[in-house]
Chain A
Amino acid sequence: MKPGNLSVLIALALSLGACTSTTVDEYRENNTRLTLNNAERVVVLGRRHEGKYETEPDFIDCIGDKLGSAATVGVLPEQTFIDALYPWFEPRTAPLTLNRLQAMMNDPLLAERIRSQGIRYMIWVDGSTETTDQEGSLACGVGPGGGGCFGYATWDKNANYEAIIWDVDTFNENGRVKVDARGTSYLFALGAPIPIIAQVKSEACDGIGRQLRSFFIPENTPTTR
């Protein structure tokens, strides 16, 4: 068998294993759907006060996109909100509890700025995606005649996030969504490397985004994009 054909066969075989398992749990304060009027919006914010990891900004953007795909949910980009409220939502100063947010909103300057942004709900997301295990080895080389790689590598990724919804008007917690996604990726190389990547983070984003949407709109509502 030619090496090219062998690579294709192995890639096909491995692609069956490059899947992600996702578990989503949710807790709701009550069964009432959250509502937004035309002037109100949601902001999705990442927790960044922990030392050992950082909730990734691209993951926050991804959740914002999933939520914003519902025509009835307006989403303010995270950085726009943080800049407008600088320096009160930096890792050092961001409120970790509703009591702290309420104390901050007692300052008319902050309250007015948050209202002027149209923010009704804050969704705080905490967590990260980490590589938990890896094995195998891969060697690459280049020479006058060209280059190539040989070997096999595999790694596991675990995405673990929790989102908490705060109502800025009533200072209540409306619900929580937890997502745990795991997947194994493979890289096989016999000349050209063939990556078979488990989309752990995007599956986690999809799971948490879909669940958060269900707080605002009924299931199976068509999206705008």
Chain B
Amino acid sequence: MLPAPIRSLVVLAIVVLSGCATEVVVEGSFPPALMRPLPASATLVFEQPFREYIFRNEGTREVSIAVGATQMDLFATIARSMFQETATLHQLPPSATTDLIIMPVVEEVQVAMPSDTQLNIFEVWIKYNIRVFAGSGQPLADWIMPAYGKTPTRFLKSDAEALNQAAIVALRDAGANLVTGFARVPEIRDWLATRPSPTAAPLERAP
């Protein structure tokens, strides 16, 4: 048995440490998208800031959320469903052998916890900038794509687990936004109109 003063210190240390920062490395997986692939191939570019993105909130409560690896997984999974062929690179090339080059960039992440909003939900917002280039390297389109996820508080669930879940919901929302919005971006729509008919494309990639 430890002496009483040491026991007090251990108890104090546990109490102090449990009140420290919430650090989350977002973990999860994503299903393939149910859609007909577009009649094009694409190279995805994940630059270092995207691959290693960590959101840090230095306010009243320290929170850090590392989304880099999981958001790469999301975009790669969605792209495999969206395009007939895909490739990935870690740097923007001057040109590519594919029809399109797509480079997602994280513009901003915001987090709201029940202690901030008095609501029984954890919320995560991610603002992406989607930059699309033709295979020749010519800029084609560039738009802001918001994503939002929330999850309810649950008895005996930690803040880290809740934030992870809210981030996964936000990433799934980003995937939904990309699938439903990509071909509606005017520049992409015009570019796709010049492509061969999509009826020639295979219907779907099975999940």
- Chain A residues packing against B (C-beta within 8 Å): 48, 52-54, 56, 58, 83-88, 90-93, 109-110, 113, 128, 130-131, 142-145
**Is A92 within 8 A of B121, CB to CB?**
no
- The DSSP consensus for interface residues of chain B is mixed
Report Cα–Cα, A143/B11, bound state, in Å: 8
Q: Within the complex, which residue of A48, A54, A109, A145 is in contact with B35, where a contact is CB–CB below 8 Å? A: A109
In whole angstroms, what is the CA distance A110 to B169 when docked?
A: 21
Counting CB contacts under 8 A, is B126 at the interface? no
* Pair A109/B152 contact, Cβ less than 8 Å: no
Q: Which residues of B contact A54 (CB under 8 A)?
A: 121, 150-152
Binds A, one of B56-64, B91-99, B170-178, B191-199: B170-178
Binary interface profile of B, 1-41, with partner A (CB < 8 Å = 1, else 0)?
Answer: 00011011001000100000000000000111111100000
Instruction: List the 6 shortest-distance A-B pairs measured between CB atoms, nearest first.
Output: A87-B176, A144-B4, A83-B31, A90-B176, A86-B31, A54-B152
- Additional A-B contact list (9), CB under 8 Å, known A128-B152, A143-B8: A53-B119, A53-B120, A53-B152, A56-B152, A56-B154, A87-B176, A90-B172, A92-B176, A143-B11
**Chain B 112-129 interface mask (CB, 8 Å, partner A; 1/0):** 000000011100000000
Contacts of A128 in B (CB 8 A): 120, 152
Q: How far is the CA of A128 from the CA of B36 in the complex (A)?
A: 36
Residue interface mask B44-83, A partner, CB < 8 A = 1: 0000000000000000000000000000000000000000
Chain B residues, CB < 8 A from A113: 34
B186 part of interface (Cβ distance < 8 Å):
no
CB <8 Å contact, A109 and B120: no
A87 to B179, CA, bound (A): 8
Nearest CB on B from A109, distance (A): 6
